[in-house]
Amino acid sequence: MKIYLVSHASVLFESNNSVIWTDPWLSGKAFNNSWALLPEASFDPAMLEKINYVWISHEHPDHFHIPTLRSLPAAFKERVTVLYQSLNSEKMIAAFKQLGFKNVRILPHREPQQLDDGTVVYSYYVGVMDSCLAVKSGSTTALNANDAQIKTGDCALIRRDIGKVDTLLTQFSIAFYSGLPDHDERLRRMAHGILQRISGNHRDLGVAQTVPFASFIYYCSEENRYINSYHNTPRMVYDYFQQRNQPVMVLYPGDVFDDLSPYDSSEALKRYDQLYASSERLVYDPPARVEFPEVAQNFTKLCKALHERYPTALLKLLRPLVVRIPDLQKTVLLSIGRRSIVETDHSAVADLTVGSQALHFAFATPYGFQTL
């Protein structure tokens, strides 16, 4: 089996006559334009000719990257088969169809499925959204865990279902933060905890090697760039695993790992070291400004939708929040229960301090609060 790294969580698994492209993201940004690829993707459009499956792990926009999927040729979308988990599948099938994909195959939880050429694929769900994909070719198995935070018990079930796993591909750095202001110790602890977890996955799955991926981004907004200082780098992952005598294979976009051949990570590590050493040249976007009437209008629409879906008596139990919006120089009191958003004393203690565009995005989109 060959594994070609395209970008972030996007790889090509080449097995027999099957080529499975996971979580395509070729350019552009994600999460309200606050994530950008680092390094850039490596993808030759000629590769589209041999790809016959596209697997999407879950709905987050760095995995289900709509601009990339929309940009793919119509003939490609008509030919390939999209593989997706059964969680939220009806909604996602409709989304794939809307993007022009004609063929969608749902993968059940913990049930190995055979493709036309004998390659076996296996889906394992974690939590309410994430899923893993195992690809089994002959006696070789690779597990793409991407963002799924699998634990010791999950590893035991996976091994029971599909046997030996040779290669683990896993996210290796921070993918979210709650925004709490005392972030230094919290983010350091989160980053170290991720290294501990993926090392534990390596041990519990009994894999021959781990491939760190799905964290090849940088936080590209002025509002979230501080998280970059706590990012686990490929070098940090490599050193952490080396100290524990756990083999790790580091790929740079465009690199191929062939499980039949020895792999040397040194060149990829050198390139990453150079990339991060020049990170001061990265571009950061200043936050946009959204005027207060538009913010208020979308909050009112959100309240209306919530009251149509949930009992008003229940929503009135939610206490009002004081929100400071620095770029508008306003402090507001918002209440979902009372469907109101009004300016209040600027000296009031704020529950939340947030820029107008991010607050507007939270109110205006169904996934806005998770993005925030």
7, 51, 3, 43: which is closest to 261 by C-alpha?
3
Distance of CA 89 to the CA centre of its chain: 18
- pLDDT (0 to 100) of residue 172: 98
Question: Above 90 in pLDDT, residue 20?
Answer: yes
Question: Above 90 in pLDDT, residue 105?
Answer: yes
Whole-angstrom distance, CA of residue 338 vs CA of residue 308: 14
Distance of CA 120 to the CA centre of its chain: 24
Question: Above 90 in pLDDT, residue 34?
Answer: yes
Question: Above 90 in pLDDT, residue 168?
Answer: yes
Question: Above 90 in pLDDT, residue 346?
Answer: no
Query: Which tokens belong to 143?
Result: 């597990």
- pLDDT (0 to 100) of residue 326: 96
Instruction: Label residues 274-291 b or e (16+ Cβ within 10 Å = b).
Output: ebbeeeeeeeeeebeebe
Render pLDDT for 270-288 as a digit per residue (tens, 0 to 9). Answer: 999 999 999 889 999 999 9
Question: Above 90 in pLDDT, residue 67?
Answer: yes
* Omega before residue 320 within 30° of 0, cis: no
Whole-angstrom distance, CA of residue 109 vs CA of residue 87: 9
Whole-angstrom distance, CA of residue 127 vs CA of residue 316: 29
Q: Which amino acid is at 139?
A: S
Whole-number Cα distances in Å, 162 to 58, 113, 128, 130, 137: 22, 11, 22, 19, 12
- pLDDT band per the 50, 70, 90 thresholds, residue 205: very high
Question: Above 90 in pLDDT, residue 211?
Answer: yes
Question: Above 90 in pLDDT, residue 242?
Answer: yes
- pLDDT band per the 50, 70, 90 thresholds, residue 88: confident
- pLDDT (0 to 100) of residue 280: 86
Give the mean model confidence (pLDDT) for residues 203-229.
97
Give, to the nearest 10 degrees, the angle between helix 356-364 and helix 292-309: 30
Question: Above 90 in pLDDT, residue 303?
Answer: yes
Mean pLDDT, the chain, whole residue set: 96
Give the mean model confidence (pLDDT) for residues 328-332.
97
Instruction: Label residues 93-126 b or e (16+ Cβ within 10 Å = b).
Output: eebbeeeebebbebbeeeeeeebeeebbbbbbbb
**292: which residues sit within 8 A by CB, 6+ positions away?**
325, 328, 330, 332, 356
Helix (H, G, I), strand (E, B) or coil at 123: strand
- pLDDT (0 to 100) of residue 259: 85
